[in-house]
Amino acid sequence: LAASGAMFAILYELDDFSLLDRWIGVLDDAGRDGVRPPTPEAEARLACSMFIALTLRQPQRRDIKQWIERALAASEAADVNLKMFVGLLAALTLSWTGLFARAGHLIESMRRVSTGPGVTPFSLITLRNLEAMHAMLTADVAAGQKAMREGLEIAQATGVQTWTFQLLLYGYGGALGGGE
């Protein structure tokens, strides 16, 4: 969990992703040594941090798909917010690699999950952020504008000011791509 936490701290800082290399090595070594996370939730977090780190630092690795599947499987019985976190980051990676249909299916699945109890504003805003990005990348201007507006409304109503700049970026990018 410490390695996963360190990786997410580096990822959220959005600065020097080369710092991920050390932690990728730590997780690779742990896997070779047969170390297993103590709970499915820990497994989901660890596998999620690994596939995001690999996508950014070692996109040529052939095991990224296995890390994604491992994270998704481990998150299946997890808290709704962890399940959404993993599913949406998997959709992000799939979108970045051009697998838009699979990313769209994951986003739709997370939409269904988001209607249940206990979903935090952070999870809802993250969902809208991924919807807006996916819409921009697939030239669905109306869906992108809707996701951007809904995400900004949630942020305004709850005070959870996260992903705001990305929501705006994806909304504007989608509008420009659509000729607006």
In tens digits, what is the pLDDT along the chain, a chain of 180 residues? 889 999 999 998 889 999 999 999 999 999 999 999 999 999 999 999 999 999 999 999 999 999 999 999 999 988 999 999 999 999 999 999 999 999 999 999 999 999 999 999 999 999 999 999 999 999 999 999 999 999 999 999 999 988 899 999 999 999 999 888
Phi, psi of 119 (to 5 degrees): -75, 125
- pTM to 2 decimals? 0.92
pLDDT at 163: 87
Contact 140, 103 (CB under 8 A): no
Phi, psi (degrees; rounded to nearest 5) at 155: -60, -45
Say if residues 78 and 44 touch (Cβ distance below 8 Å). yes
